[in-house]
Chains A and B, each alone.
Chain A
Amino acid sequence: MQHLNEEQLVAHYYHDDDAPATAESHLGECTECRLQYETIRRVLTLVTDAPMPERGEHYADEVWTRLRWKLGARKRRMRWTSFVAAAAVLAIAFFAGQWWNSRGAQAPSPVSEIASTKPVRGQAGAPVLHGNDRVLLVVVSDHLESSERMLAELANANPKETFELSSDRAADLVASNRMYRQTAATRGDQRIESLLSDLEPILAELAHAGKTLSPDELASIQKRIESKQLLFKVRIVSAQTGSGGDKPVPAHSNSL
């Protein structure tokens, strides 16, 4: 009688054998092979019974929440084209602003005359944005929203745990931030320039931090975000740009 070897027994256990009926028949007749097969079955049952930690029904949501901020890599290939596009938008915005101003200078309206001497106040007594401010705010809107998300993620992270970081994403934000800050400086928009100047060192530090922040590093960053009220400031300007810049700016945002 031809016995089944160990490999054939394992293949039979997993139904991967070529002639399962023959093997089954042999196992019915051969005590030696049946004992071998039974031992394999017991060992594999023991392995099967090893516990598996359960994940909650919202596990996929948790994975996605942590993951979605890191999914910038597909856009990264477009980094330089994005910069070119952003620069083009800025250039168009700059010349559109110049044209708008020169047109306003030729035929000054009562409102622009007031605007040139003192800020216009909205209903709440806050300044209303016009012309160049609005153009610049619109083009930095995306950048501020992305920065806000990253700051919020950091601010809300558990300081006792290692924080996983997308340094590529931070590097993109640093490059954009630098460009927008310089543009704001050129245009004399001190409010945005000041905000972006506060933001840049944090972003630069994140860009060079590697893939993770230790609890100490995270606590330090959180402290700096908190001390400069950075998240709050970014949210204020981001909300303002998101609404097209026509809404009154809260009075305390003048300190930006």
Chain B
Amino acid sequence: MEVTDVAALSRAREGDPDAFRLLVERHSRVIFRVAYRMTGNEHDADDVVQETFLRAYRQLDAFEERANFSTWLHRIAVNCALDLLRARGRHDKHRAGMTSGEGDEEHEREIASSDPQPDRLLLSAELQQHVAAAMEKLSGNERTAFILRHFEGMPVEEIGQTLGIQVNAAKHTIFRAVRKLREALEPLVRPNPCST
């Protein structure tokens, strides 16, 4: 019979390293995916995975068994990723860029303002750069909420728990993220009028 996360966690609390190893085996890939989406860098993502499990191990006693282990682990991973971004100055830099205007509605649209033509953006590498740049313009909460909803398919309720916010606030955070992405990337997906 398969050992549940909570049972493995309970054994890990009692000092059974194999039980914690089981949790690492089950969740490391998912955490890597989230970490990579958050940081945009493989090496950083690997660091976040390590730090996530290290923090989780040190906080095993803080986990409430009625909670969802995966959600709890995601919350730690997200915090680790945000800490890393903050520590390296990227996060603050991007946030400063976003908040230097008159709020979210007014933030600079570097990508959009460059007016890229679709025929210039056929190279996928260039598209990827634009997507990465657009993602980096999201605030920490927006990026987290969007990644968990869009890539991980996490329900809004769990996203709210992960971020420590209400469900409606989580839903609105996802919306803000999508709106910013749309503002930045819409020129790239707009149908070419010449082709019709």
Contacts and interface: CB of A to CB of B under 8 A. Distances in A.
B86 interface: no
A51 to B, nearest CB: 7
Interface string B12-37: 00010100110011101100110011
A34 B145 CA distance: 25
B93 interface: no
Contacts of A53: 36, 42
B185 A11 contact: no
A52 B189 contact: no
Contact of B21 (A11, A59, A64): A64
A107 interface: no
A103 interface: no
Interface in B163-188: 171-172, 174-175, 178-179, 181-182, 185-186, 188
Interface in B51-66: 53-54, 57-58, 60
Contacts of A40: 178, 182
A228 interface: no
B130 to A, nearest CB: 9
Contacts of A10: 174-175, 178-179
A71 B54 contact: yes
A48 interface: yes
* Chain A interface residue number, banded: 20 to 34
B192 interface: no
B9 interface: no
Interface string B156-167: 100000000000
Report the contact-size class of chain B (Cβ under 8 Å from the partner): 35 or more
Most chain B beta carbons < 10 A, residue from A44, A63, A73: A63
Interface in B121-157: 127-128, 131-132, 134-135, 149-151, 156
Chain B interface mostly: helix
Interface in A44-86: 44-48, 50-53, 55, 59-61, 63-64, 66-68, 70-71, 73-74
B49 interface: yes
A142 to B, nearest CB: 15
Contact of B179 (A6, A14, A74): A6
Contacts, number: 96
A48 B58 CA distance: 34
Contacts of A7: 172, 175
A68 B17 contact: yes
Contacts of A19: none
A74 to B, nearest CB: 7
Contacts of B178: 10, 13, 40, 43-44
Contacts of A51: 128
B50 interface: yes
A31 to B, nearest CB: 14
Given A11-B175, A74-B58, A59 B28 contact: yes
B150 A48 contact: yes
B171 A16 contact: yes
Given A43-B185, A46-B189, A60-B24, A11 B53 contact: no
A39 interface: yes
Given A11-B175, A71-B17, A66 B185 contact: no
A71 B28 CA distance: 16
12 contacts: A10-B174, A40-B182, A43-B185, A43-B189, A44-B178, A46-B131, A59-B28, A59-B32, A60-B29, A63-B53, A73-B54, A74-B15
Given A40-B182, A68-B17, 20 more contacts: A10-B178, A39-B186, A45-B189, A46-B185, A47-B150, A47-B181, A48-B150, A50-B132, A53-B36, A53-B42, A63-B50, A63-B53, A64-B21, A67-B24, A67-B53, A67-B54, A71-B17, A73-B57, A74-B57, A74-B58
